[in-house]
């Protein structure tokens, strides 16, 4: 229960910072994708089911507060959480390069899909401009924040997982 509450608070905090604080910092051209970082990390620690659940939660927040086709962010972040949770079986959390690389791939996929739904369907097809002015700056910021935030979020969730696992062990013994 404690772990779920902390992760929900992390999702809400990431959403608030991403949508209400970062856009008003004058030197930032774009906002880093904090929700993607949090969903990726939670999916990595807890696996595909919880990654998908927290991805859906973050996506619902984005869908409720932003216009466009409802369910788009929910679908994308849910799938990102699921796929990263599933793929966590194949890499180790001791290294930073691979998680940062995977998060960068997630960011690229997220923005390419966003371009397809939000721009191509409206007849705006200048992908080069979108890549240069939105995707690459957001990708760089997300990579920098992933390097800074990945290990602390991972450590927090690992600690909460150990606490929950130890409580389950105590209940089974009693």
Mean pLDDT over 18-27 rounds to 85
pLDDT digits (tens, 9 = 90+) for 74-106: 999 999 999 988 877 776 666 778 888 888 999
Site of tokens 């929910």: 74
pLDDT of residue 104: 92
Query: What is the crossing angle of helices 2-16 and 34-46, to 10°?
Result: 160
| Mean pLDDT for the chain overall | 85
Mean pLDDT over 147-166 rounds to 83
Identify whether the C-beta of residue 77 lies closer than 8 Å to the C-beta of residue 36.
Answer: yes
**What is the C-alpha to C-alpha distance for residues 22 and 25, in angstroms, rounded to an integer?**
5
**What is the C-alpha to C-alpha distance for residues 46 and 154, in angstroms, rounded to an integer?**
10
Residue 123 has pLDDT above 70, yes or no: yes
In DSSP notation, 41-54 reads HHHHHH-HHHHHHH
Is residue 126 very low, low, confident or very high in pLDDT (cuts 50, 70, 90)? confident
Which residue from 48, 44, 15, 42 is spatially nearest to 31, judged by alpha carbons? 15
pTM: 0.84
**109 contacts: CB under 8 Å, gap ≥ 6:** 80
Structure-block tokens of residue 110: 């997220």
């Amino acid at each position: 229960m404690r772990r779920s509450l902390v992760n929900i608070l992390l999702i809400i905090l990431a959403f608030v910072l991403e949508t209400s604080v970062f856009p008003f910092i004058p030197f930032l051209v774009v906002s880093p994708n904090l929700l993607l970082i949090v969903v990726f990390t939670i999916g990595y620690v807890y696996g595909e089911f919880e990654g998908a659940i927290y991805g859906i939660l973050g996506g619902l927040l984005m869908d409720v507060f932003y216009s466009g086709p409802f369910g788009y962010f929910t679908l994308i972040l849910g799938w990102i959480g699921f796929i990263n949770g599933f793929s966590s079986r194949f890499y180790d959390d001791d290294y930073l390069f691979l998680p940062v690389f995977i998060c960068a791939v997630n960011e690229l996929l997220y923005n390419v899909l966003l371009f397809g739904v939000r721009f191509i369907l409206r007849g705006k097809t200048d992908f080069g401009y979108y890549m240069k002015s939105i995707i690459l700056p957001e990708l760089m910021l997300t990579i920098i924040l992933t390097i800074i935030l990945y290990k602390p979020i991972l450590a927090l969730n690992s600690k909460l997982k150990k606490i929950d696992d130890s409580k389950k062990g105590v209940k089974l013994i009693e």
